[in-house]
């Protein structure tokens, strides 16, 4: 990439990325706040939060991923200045998100019946069961927020979701502290207070994000186009699902691997499970920051593809790779230096702190792999390339990472360290394969445009 191209892509990518980074962090900071506050009440409640998050996050990622097909399609339509199509994408995207939220919330009624069969410590399951019910209920407002957010971000409007996420996280932190410990005039609800704080914060996020898209002056042309028909159309929903469902599946495979690793920690004991929750919480913060850069890559690559500028799309993707490599290298260094101090913000049990510090050292090792794989996913989504990455995730995490982690952790007796080395291996494989795929991909028109031509040959 030439110096002029470097300058042309660096600032626009960062301008899009940092608001999305903060917005994406909002999803994981909810769990960070819950874990930190609940962890002060003991390691059993912290382990219960770990179990609840492991189960609920897998389903949440399936829902969030399903809506992520909205962004590249909006970016491509915006690149072509196709206002009528943008109006239809707004209608279909919001309907898809609401329907997905209802399905996820209803699924939460079944999960409590599954928890006792996961071979987890009985006290942990008892505390986790009511928590899971509330978490799944909160997925409905979360998905409403997501539908409006993905549309706005596809247009390059990323700061609004960032501001709303920051406000919601401040509210969540205040409510979490007050409801868990009975402070600030609120009732003392223990760990369930954190669950209800999350629910209230997500309702606020949904209301405010919807209000922005439905009232902002700059979005009036798209609302006017959408108002011509407020009902979804089957073809539009299929188009969104065709792009979003593979993304949701890929995210589920990835998050499912980490969640299953959390269940394996429960087989090892409460101390290991609590330590895993600390380490995965911290690693999730840096991951979601990198996913913000990946979202910027999706937007910029998708917009260049809509404008039929293959060179610009490739340069935009590689700029996102470069920024992510630098950022995650720095984060890895931070984790190495602070690995003995960070766990103490969650829990003061010496055994938990020691185990978490060891896991954070492995987390530091996979920072670059984690960042490179997520930005690879983002760049490929901009090209509407979503099916092959799903297969790559399935093989890397479920055929390589988890079996290797089980062998190292249980057969060879490496315990929690062995399980995490398996995860490190899976992340590295995905990162390498997706980088090669993007580098070798013949970038021309979007897949939706090329498919008819290919079929005619």
Q: List, for residues 122-146, the tens digit of each pLDDT value.
A: 888 888 899 889 989 999 999 999 9
The pLDDT value given to residue 110: 86
pLDDT at 1: 63
* Among 37, 36, 32, 348, residue whose Cα is nearest residue 180: 37
pLDDT at residue number 453: 34
Domain hosting 226: range is 3-446
- Give the Cα separation of 29 and 172 in Å (integer): 9
Question: What distances in angstroms separate CA 357 from CA 2, 36, 341, 350, 412, one per listed residue?
Answer: 42, 16, 8, 11, 21
Burial of 356 (0-12, 13-18, 19+ CB in 10 A): buried
172 domain-assigned = yes
The count of structural domains within the chain is 1
Q: Is residue 129 assigned to a domain?
A: yes
CA 306 to chain CA centroid, Å, is 25
Is 451 inside any structural domain? no
Q: What's the confidence (pLDDT) of residue 451?
A: 37
pTM comes to: 0.73
Contact 344, 263 (CB under 8 A): no
- From residue 309, alpha-carbon distances to 79, 85, 272, 276, 304 in Å are 10, 20, 50, 44, 5
Residue 446, pLDDT score: 44
- Cβ neighbors of 431 (< 8 A, separation 6 or more) are 368, 369, 370, 372, 373, 376
**For residue 208, is it within any domain?**
yes
Query: Which pair of tokens denotes residue 359?
Result: 């896991």
Q: What is the pLDDT of residue 447?
A: 45
CA distance 243 to 258: 24
pLDDT of residue 449: 42
Segment 260-296, tens digit of pLDDT:
898 898 899 889 988 998 898 888 888 888 888 998 8
As a whole number of angstroms, the distance between CA 287 and CA 374 comes to: 8
Whether 322 and 375 have beta carbons less than 8 Å apart is answered as no
Please report, for residues 173, 175, 176, 204, the alpha-carbon distance to residue 185 in angstroms, rounded to integers and kept in the order given: 15, 11, 13, 21
> Which residue, among 168, 68, 53, has the nearest Cα to 374 in the 3D structure?
68
Assess if residue 62 is contained within a domain: yes
Residues with pLDDT less than 50, the chain: 445-457
**What would the DSSP string read from start to end of 365-417?**
HTHHHHHHHHHHHHHHHHTT--HHHHHHHIIIIIIIIHHHHHIIIIIS--THH
Q: What is the pLDDT of residue 31?
A: 67
173, 184 Cβ separation under 8 angstroms: no
Q: Is residue 101 part of a domain?
A: yes
């Amino acid at each position: 990439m030439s110096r002029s191209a470097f300058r042309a892509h660096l600032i626009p990518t960062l301008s899009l990325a940092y608001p999305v980074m903060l917005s994406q962090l909002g999803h994981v900071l909810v769990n960070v706040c819950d874990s930190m506050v609940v962890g002060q009440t003991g390691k059993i409640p912290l382990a219960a939060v770990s179990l609840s998050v492991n189960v609920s996050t897998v389903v949440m990622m399936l829902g969030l991923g399903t809506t992520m097909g909205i962004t590249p399609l909006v970016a491509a339509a915006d690149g072509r200045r196709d206002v009528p199509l943008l109006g239809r994408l707004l209608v279909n995207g919001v309907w898809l998100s609401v329907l997905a939220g209802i399905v996820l919330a209803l699924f939460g009624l079944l999960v409590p019946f599954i928890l006792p069969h996961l071979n987890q410590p009985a006290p942990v399951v008892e505390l986790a069961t009511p928590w899971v019910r509330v978490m799944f209920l909160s997925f409905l407002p979360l998905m409403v927020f997501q539908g409006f957010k993905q549309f706005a971000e596809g247009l390059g409007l990323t700061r609004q979701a960032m501001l709303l996420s920051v406000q919601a996280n401040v509210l969540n932190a205040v409510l979490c502290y007050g409801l868990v410990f009975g402070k600030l005039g609120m009732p003392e609800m223990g760990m369930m207070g954190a669950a209800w704080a999350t629910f209230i914060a997500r309702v606020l996020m949904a209301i405010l994000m919807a209000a922005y898209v439905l009232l902002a002056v700059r979005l009036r042309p798209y609302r006017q186009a959408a108002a011509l028909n407020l009902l979804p159309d089957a073809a539009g929903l299929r188009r969104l699902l065709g792009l979003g469902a593979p993304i949701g599946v890929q995210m589920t495979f990835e998050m499912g691997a980490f969640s299953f690793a959390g269940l394996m920690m429960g087989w090892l004991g409460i101390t290991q499970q609590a330590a895993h929750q600390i380490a995965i919480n911290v690693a999730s913060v840096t991951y979601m920051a990198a996913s913000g850069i990946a979202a910027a890559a999706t937007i910029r690559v998708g917009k260049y593809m809509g404008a039929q500028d293959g060179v610009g799309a490739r340069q935009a993707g590689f700029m996102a790779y470069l920024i992510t490599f630098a950022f995650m290298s720095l984060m890895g260094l931070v984790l190495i230096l602070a690995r003995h101090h960070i766990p103490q913000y969650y829990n003061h049990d010496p055994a938990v702190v020691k185990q978490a510090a060891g896991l954070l050292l492995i987390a530091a090792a996979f920072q670059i792999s984690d960042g490179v794989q997520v930005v690879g996913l983002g760049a490929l989504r901009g090209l509407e390339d979503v099916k092959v990455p799903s297969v790559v995730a399935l093989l890397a995490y479920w055929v390589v990472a988890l079996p290797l982690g089980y062998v190292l952790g249980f057969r060879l007796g490496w315990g929690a360290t062995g399980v995490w080395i398996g995860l490190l291996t899976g992340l590295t494989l995905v990162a390498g394969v997706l980088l090669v795929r993007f580098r070798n991909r013949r970038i021309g028109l979007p897949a939706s445009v090329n498919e008819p031509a290919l079929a005619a040959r």
